[in-house]
Chains A and B, each alone.
Chain A
Amino acid sequence: MTALPLLAIELSYWQATAIKLGAVMTVIPLGSLVLVYVFLFKMMSHMQSRLGPMEAGPHGTLQVLAEAGKFLQKEDIFPARADRAVFGLAPVVVIVSTFMLYAVIPAGPDLIVEDLDVGVFFALAVGSISVIGILMAGWSSASKYSLLGALRSAGQLIAYELPLVLAVVGVVIQAGTMSLQGIVHAQADGEIFGFGLIGNPFILTQFIGFVIFLIAAQAELTQTPFDMPVAESELVAGYMTEYSGFRFLFFFIAEFGSAFALSGIAATLFLGGWYVPFLPDGLLGNLAGPAVLGAKIMFVAFLIFWMRFTFPRFREDQLQAIAWKFLIPASLANIVVTGILKVVM
């Protein structure tokens, strides 16, 4: 009988999880659709001095629903020589790994699906399941382009898993705990050299970790400048080439869902999550929390998509070289410095 103090009513376990599940199931599609609309439709077009979709709904807002509807009513095609079972299952695996990320992101003092005390570790571990889904998709599509795309993306995701994790280790050392809620509280009431007014958002002290996390997140999402697996000009659409209909929508939702989740984790780890100074706790805090987290997520997502619309694409070997020769040593150095400072301070 977990008591939800917030609502001051007694809920049995399964009722609480049902509510949380419902909340998560609405946040993900909503979040990714907002992300698609704001960044992929509006920001990208304005950056390219054009208006973007304007017809559907006021200022093109309903265009996103039209896109989703279009994918749903498209025919679901299986290539002739495809391995049907694996081909059908691959998008499910990819989307499951994205959904599980949302289990540990705190949106308010009490608004968290499950406050695991190994939250960060769980999030990053679950994030790497999508590699299996991508390999399944690439192999089962029985087409040259998909195979090449899948192999490239497997190499890339594994190569960038490491800097992602190592960048987070610095934050964990400084916060002293791995649970995301704990990290938010550590940032809330920590202070830098005695000046504690705005708490201690780790972006200030862990700036290198923040930059590495952003670059690695960009690579995890296979976005330009790391979008080799889905390089249009060479491999048409990488592992997604043969997919159509709602299976392609799964991949699409997975991509933007994980973009939303990774920006959420980045906001929580580096920008103080749902905390903002003078946030009243209790009911009001739980209402303001998601809004604050949403704003921070939008800021981090802006950085990610800004890089996506400006830079050309790395070549495969350059991409790997950056991960192994530049990001990993930098994040290790960051960990060492944080460790020493933690002890000395």
Chain B
Amino acid sequence: MGLVPGAVKGLGVTLRTMFKPAVTVQYPHVKEAPPTRARGVIALKEENCTVCMLCARECPDWCIYIEGHGDKAPPRREGGKPRTVFILDRFDIDYALCMYCGICVEVCPFDALFWSPEYEYSEVSIADMLHDKDKLGEWMATVPEPPPLEVGAAAKK
């Protein structure tokens, strides 16, 4: 319809959209599920952590605070020298500073940190944004399985 003036075509567009269903979601009543890989919050699997401090060092925002202490553990083979193992005392992530870049999850050699798509943890006071060790442990329950890869992707190395 070349000769229809632009203004009338514009009116047609708005009228058509008026009768199409709306796309908005009424948030508190209806919730959209974030995709499985969404970087919502970081969960800590305490057993894997060996206090190697790689994540705290590699974090650009310096928002991971770790304290641990060395301890003697029974030797693997009897008669062997008792192993020194490190126990985690404190593992805090300050989500007020964190920029969700994911370097810590990636750099952790013992797979102790995971991403969970959880996003509803806003707080009234900013101090509560410092999640301590057991709060991060709670998030572990919400960590989903990684999604299957697209066809043509090489097998996970």
> What residues make up the interface of A, taking CB atoms closer than 8 Å to B?
43, 45-51, 54, 306-307, 309-311
> What residues make up the interface of B, taking CB atoms closer than 8 Å to A?
7, 10-11, 13-15, 17-24, 26
Contacts of B13 in A (CB 8 A): 310
Contacts of B21 in A (CB 8 A): 49
Contacts of B17 in A (CB 8 A): 46-49
Give CA–CA (A43, B22) in the complex, Å.
Answer: 12
In the complex, which of the residues B7, B20, B24 contacts A311, with contact meaning CB atoms closer than 8 Å? B7
Enumerate 7 A-B pairs (CB-CB under 8 Å) in ascending A order: A43-B18, A46-B17, A46-B22, A47-B15, A51-B24, A309-B14, A311-B7
**CB atoms of B14 and A310 under 8 A apart:** yes
Contacts of A48 in B (CB 8 A): 17
Best-buried of B11, B18, B23 by chain A (most CB within 10 Å) = B18
In the complex, which of the residues A43, A50, A54, A306 contacts B11, with contact meaning CB atoms closer than 8 Å? A306
**CB atoms of A49 and B23 under 8 A apart:** yes
Contacts of B11 in A (CB 8 A): 306-307, 310
Contacts of A51 in B (CB 8 A): 22, 24, 26
10 A-B pairs with least C-beta separation? A50-B24, A47-B14, A51-B22, A310-B14, A46-B18, A47-B18, A310-B10, A50-B22, A49-B23, A51-B24
Further contacts, 16 of them, CB under 8 A, given A49-B20, A306-B11, A310-B13? A43-B18, A45-B22, A46-B17, A46-B18, A46-B19, A47-B15, A47-B17, A47-B18, A48-B17, A49-B17, A50-B24, A51-B26, A54-B26, A306-B15, A310-B11, A311-B10
A-side interface mostly: helix
Contacts of A50 in B (CB 8 A): 22-24
A-B contact count (CB 8 A): 36
Across the interface, name the chain A residue whose C-beta is closest to B7.
A311
Contacts of B14 in A (CB 8 A): 47, 306, 309-310
Across the interface, name the chain A residue whose C-beta is closest to B29.
A54
Across the interface, name the chain A residue whose C-beta is closest to B19.
A46
Give CA–CA (A43, B14) in the complex, Å.
Answer: 10
**CB atoms of B22 and A49 under 8 A apart:** yes
Give CA–CA (A310, B24) in the complex, Å.
Answer: 20
Give CA–CA (A54, B24) in the complex, Å.
Answer: 11
Give CA–CA (A161, B34) in the complex, Å.
Answer: 55
Best-buried of A47, A309, A311 by chain B (most CB within 10 Å) = A47
Give CA–CA (A228, B18) in the complex, Å.
Answer: 26
Contacts of A47 in B (CB 8 A): 14-15, 17-18
**Least Cβ–Cβ distance between B135 and chain A, in angstroms:** 32
Give CA–CA (A152, B14) in the complex, Å.
Answer: 29
Contacts of A309 in B (CB 8 A): 14
Give CA–CA (A309, B7) in the complex, Å.
Answer: 12
Contacts of B24 in A (CB 8 A): 49-51
Contacts of B18 in A (CB 8 A): 43, 46-47
Across the interface, name the chain B residue whose C-beta is closest to A48.
B17
